[in-house]
Amino acid sequence: MMHNMVKVLDKVIGFKTAQAHCDIPCKIYDPSTALLAALSCVRLMDLIKEIEDKETLTVADYAQIARLVGEKESASTEVKEAVRIIWGDYFKAPQFEQVPNAHDLTHSIMLQASKCKQGINREEGEKLVSLVNEFAEAFWLTKGVTTYRAPCPYPPMLDTVYPDLKG
């Protein structure tokens, strides 16, 4: 009954929706989400370029470009959200002591993700991947986990930071 009353009030008043990663805190953080989203930005830029390079475009090509751009912008936003959550919820004084440039690095990622939303320049996407890799290394450092770099096994096949969970 209470749920129905709140539902009716929501329709009349229009409560703001609250969203959070986990304010318990759950202690489950991983920069891989941001890395996958950054890699997706580059891959989507590549797919847009493939269509751009065609001699003639069809209506289906224009529709595909619209979908690709929407996904690229969504991936850029996902990078920002994932990094912001780790920076805001996980990083505390001890982590900031270990990674003194965390604020500047996070801000650089936010700006770079915005550049990726604004255009289709692959170099901007590669720079985003590079910054997120740096963030991933910093994150794993605070966990005492060593990392290594290897090309991701799918396009765009860029170097990606992975935690070395064997050691």
Confidence of residue 8 (pLDDT cuts 50, 70, 90): low
Confidence of residue 127 (pLDDT cuts 50, 70, 90): very high
CA distances from 60 to 10, 46, 50, 52, 99 (A): 40, 17, 14, 13, 47
Pick 167 or 106 by higher pLDDT.
106
Q: Mark 100-117 as b/e (b = at least 16 C-beta within 10 Å).
A: eebeebbebbeebbeebb
Pick 22 or 35 by higher pLDDT.
35
Tokens coding 102? 């965390």
Q: Which residue type sits at 159?
A: D
Q: Quote the DSSP letter at residue 144.
A: T
Domain regions of the chain by residue span: 28-163
Superfamily of structural domain 28-163: Nickel-containing superoxide dismutase (1.20.120.400)
**Average pLDDT score, the chain:** 91
